[in-house]
Amino acid sequence: MLRDKPTQTSQSAIGKVATNITGDSNSYDSHDINIYQPVSSGPHRPLTKTLMYKLLQIMISSTEPTGEDFPLTPPPPIEKKLIYNHAPRYLNIINEYSENYARLDSVIKEFPDSEAIIQRLNKMFVNVADVRDDGKLCVGNGDAQLKLIENEIYNMIVNDASFQADEVPEEIINQFCVALIAVAVAKCRVLLRPGDDDAAA
């Protein structure tokens, strides 16, 4: 599981992150965003498309197909959703590994039932989201919610019968979990939209 990193000196940086995804789940608008970015602790092993494909195969093998469609309303930028949902830690983590997020979104489109994976993450979010007395979802501790989802993805992978621990280092699994969460947040299946406390985003 992704472990908390030691506190480090931080700096402000301009990051290029693909954040605006249209309702067809196939196109993006990228723009510069001025966000808080942690100083990297050093080079990290890249999450390759081959490893992403292998981990996605494990996810899809344990996920039921779904006929649900993605919402057509254009989603807000991912950084705005993370800030609105009180997830500054994951804002920094996702930004640090933004190349994984962009690469995974490209790979996941090769799966005919990729929507089922994203919908499963939506269900994970609903299970950990804060709920008002009337049963409606509301903004809570986004960092804690995303950590629970990350742990669940991690456990799905490492406990799958086809998973071979000697072939995929823990660091790679951690990066994959964060990248998959970023894709689900960007596709509006995890966390709430800014200003909308009445339904799952």
Domain assignment present for residue 195? The answer is no
**Distance between CA 49 and CA 65 in Å, rounded?**
23
Domain assignment present for residue 132? The answer is yes
- Which region among 36-40, 61-65, 110-114, 136-140 has the lowest average model confidence (pLDDT)? 36-40
Q: For residue range 91-129, list pLDDT tens digits in order.
A: 999 999 889 998 998 898 877 778 889 999 999 999 999
Q: Provide the domain limits for residue 60.
A: 10-39+46-186
Q: Give, in order, the Cα–Cα distances in Å from 148 to each of 53, 72, 77, 161, 186.
A: 23, 27, 22, 22, 18
Domain assignment present for residue 157? The answer is yes
Torsion angle, alpha carbons of 39, 45, 47, 49, to 10: 130
4-24: average pLDDT: 38
Contact by Cβ (8 Å): 1, 150: yes
**Distance between CA 107 and CA 67 in Å, rounded?**
20
Domain count, the chain: 1
Q: How confident is the model at residue 63 (pLDDT cuts 50, 70, 90)?
A: low
